[in-house]
């Protein structure tokens, strides 16, 4: 894989604990982030806590609650083994062995693997689009300005292509911009416009990347096409919400009408 920033989100430099001599602010923030992400999937766990890099009594209690919720000894201490437990969803999304051998099937498989692990962004110090999932998709970047829908889409493409020994950057450059991918598709003859798609929906294939067109050379959101049924595509997309926002909070599976929305499609066929 080319996008390997996720690996940094799976480790801490040293054991972290309240009043610990080896405490590291960045590592404590990682721990607090994963505790809060765990609370989103398990609201009764009592692990939501502030993300400020200070391993104080609230963080210690949140760690103990995580340990208790999972049947571990309640020490309030986070060593690498416990941190592996905290960040296991990310590892599962990126490193689960893949079954399929065809790129289109792999695109769907990888996207669904990520979806099952509940990727969410966090708001840290007033900055949305933050946290370990965002940094993993955005090559270490996060913060309010870092819209991550294309980072997610390219991560899926990278992971799927790498599984069969192919480099996604032969198809498109590494980028976080929908406009860059859209223009690359036009230059290479790989982008089908929404008018063409409406005339011939068979153009749409699983694993292709959709781009929502704002104007002729301006696209605002993207994701992976999972299937097409009648006038609807099913998608898995990042940085969205239940309203289909381009700046939401999570990876979600959605349905979109390609007859009601200006949806262009970037074909991955040259890598298939």
Question: By the 8 A CB rule, do 197 and 168 touch?
Answer: no
CA atoms of 115 and 101, how far apart (whole Å): 20
Residue 100 and residue 233 in one domain:
yes
pLDDT of residue 253: 97
CA 83 to chain centre: 20
Cα distances from 12 to residues 31, 58, 125, 130, in angstroms, run 9, 20, 21, 18
pLDDT value for 271: 96
Tokens standing for residue 151: 């980072």
Q: Is 34 found in the same domain as 61?
A: yes
To 5 degrees, how large is the angle CA 137–CA 159–CA 99? 135
Picking from 61, 91, 121, the residue at the C-terminal end of a domain is: 91
Q: Are 186 and 256 members of one domain?
A: yes
Nearest-5° Cα angle at 258, 252 to 264 = 85
**Contact indicator for 272, 205 with CB cutoff of 8 Å:** no
Phi, psi of 207, rounded to the nearest 5 degrees: 95, -20
Rounded CA separation 47/117 (Å)? 17
Reduce the secondary structure of 174-231 to three states and give it as a string: CCCCHHHHHHHHHHHCCEECHHHHHHCHHHCCCCCEEEEEEECCEEEEEEEEEEEECC
Whether residue 149 is found in the same domain as residue 24: no
DSSP H or E run through 257: strand 250-257
Closest Cα partner for 35 from 95, 96, 112, 120? 120
Rounded Cα distance, 125 and 53, in Å:
11
pLDDT score recorded for residue 245: 87
Which range marks the domain in which residue 32 is found? 5-91
The reply to whether 210 and 243 lie within a common domain is yes
* 188 and 208 share one domain: yes
Distance from chain centroid for Cα 248 = 12
Domain count, the chain: 2
pTM over 0.85: yes
Q: Which of 69, 91, 113 is the last residue of a domain?
A: 91
Distance CA 234, CA 245 (A): 15
Which residues are CB-neighbours of 61 under 8 A, at least 6 positions away?
46, 49, 76
Query: Exposed (0-12), middle (13-18) or buried (19+): which is 258, by Cβ within 10 Å?
Result: buried
**Domain match, 46 and 160 both:** no
The pLDDT profile of the chain, 272 residues, written as one tens digit per residue, is: 999 999 999 999 999 999 999 999 999 999 999 999 999 999 999 999 999 999 999 999 999 999 999 999 999 999 999 999 999 999 999 999 999 999 999 999 999 999 999 999 999 999 999 999 999 999 999 999 999 999 999 999 999 999 999 999 999 999 999 999 999 999 999 999 999 999 999 999 999 999 999 999 999 999 999 999 999 999 999 999 988 888 999 999 999 999 999 999 999 999 99
CATH number at residue 178: 3.90.1720
What's the distance, CA 35 to chain centroid?
A: 18
Residue 156's alpha-carbon distances to 104, 114, 160, in angstroms, are: 11, 9, 6
């Amino acid at each position: 894989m080319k996008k390997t920033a996720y690996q940094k989100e799976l480790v801490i430099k040293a054991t972290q604990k309240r009043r610990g001599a080896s405490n590291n602010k960045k590592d404590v923030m990682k721990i607090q982030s994963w505790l809060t992400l765990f609370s989103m999937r398990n609201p009764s766990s009592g692990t939501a806590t502030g993300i400020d890099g200070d391993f104080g009594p609230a963080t210690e209690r949140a760690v103990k609650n995580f340990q208790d919720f999972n049947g571990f000894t309640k020490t309030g201490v986070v060593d690498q083994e416990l941190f592996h437990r905290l960040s296991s969803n990310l590892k599962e999304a990126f490193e689960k062995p893949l079954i399929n051998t065809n790129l289109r099937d792999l695109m769907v498989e990888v996207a669904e693997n990520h979806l099952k692990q509940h990727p969410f962004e966090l708001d840290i110090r007033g900055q949305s689009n933050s946290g370990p999932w965002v940094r993993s998709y955005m090559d270490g970047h996060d913060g309010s300005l870092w819209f991550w829908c294309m980072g997610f889409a390219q991560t899926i493409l990278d992971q799927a292509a790498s599984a069969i020994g192919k480099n996604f950057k032969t198809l498109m450059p590494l980028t976080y911009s929908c406009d860059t991918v859209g223009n690359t598709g036009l230059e290479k003859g790989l982008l089908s416009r929404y008018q063409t798609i409406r005339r011939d929906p068979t153009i749409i294939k699983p694993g292709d990347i959709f781009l929502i067109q704002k104007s002729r050379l301006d696209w605002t959101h993207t994701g992976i096409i999972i299937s097409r049924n009648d006038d609807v595509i099913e998608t898995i997309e990042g940085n969205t919400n239940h309203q289909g926002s381009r700046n939401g909070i999570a990876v979600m599976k959605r349905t979109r009408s390609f007859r009601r929305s200006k949806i262009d499609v970037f074909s991955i066929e040259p890598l298939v």
